[in-house]
Amino acid sequence: MKILYIGKQFSDDPAGRYYTDGDGSGEEFREEVLRPLLKLNKPLTINIDENVEGYGSSFLVEAFGGLIKHGYFESDYINRVLNLDFNDSDFEFYARKIKQYIKEAIYNSEQYESTKETAINEGKFKGSIDKSFLEDFK
């Protein structure tokens, strides 16, 4: 089974809620990494501690809770296929928060509107993260 390493493959400084917060945001991770991988309907293990110092709640809520909020998946499905991996015991806190945000998320019923175009136009999102690693998961 392949493991997705947020800190090695996505960003060593994942931060912010929206594309307008810059590269490495929760919205970018959800839309361009997490959602496509979860759509494959295969178990997914994500390492949350290698090469990462920590996470802000805005990143975690948008990335993980946003999956339910925007109606992409139900929490039961995410809990069934998503495994969180970490070796540093300090990251158990983040794993618990991710599970909490998934559990507490409520489907919003509003159509998702990306902030990507605005962020590009404002020069806040540069698309600097290479996501070619996604091919390894298909």
* Contacts of residue 76, Cβ cutoff 8 Å, sequence gap at least 6: none
* 101 token code pair: 């945000």
Q: Is the pLDDT of residue 1 over 80?
A: no
- 69: amino acid identity, one letter: K
How far is residue 124's CA from residue 63's CA, in Å, rounded to a whole number?
Answer: 18
| pLDDT category of residue 56 using cuts at 50, 70 and 90 | very high
Which H or E run contains 76? helix 75-81
- pLDDT at residue 65, rounded to an integer: 96
pLDDT in tens, 84-109: 999 999 999 999 999 999 999 999 87
- Please, are residues 74 and 36 in contact by the beta-carbon 8 Å criterion? no
* 62 token code pair: 């948008």
Q: Kindly give the residue spans of alpha helices, DSSP state H, lying in 15-74.
A: 26-29, 35-38, 57-60, 66-69
- pLDDT at residue 109, rounded to an integer: 75
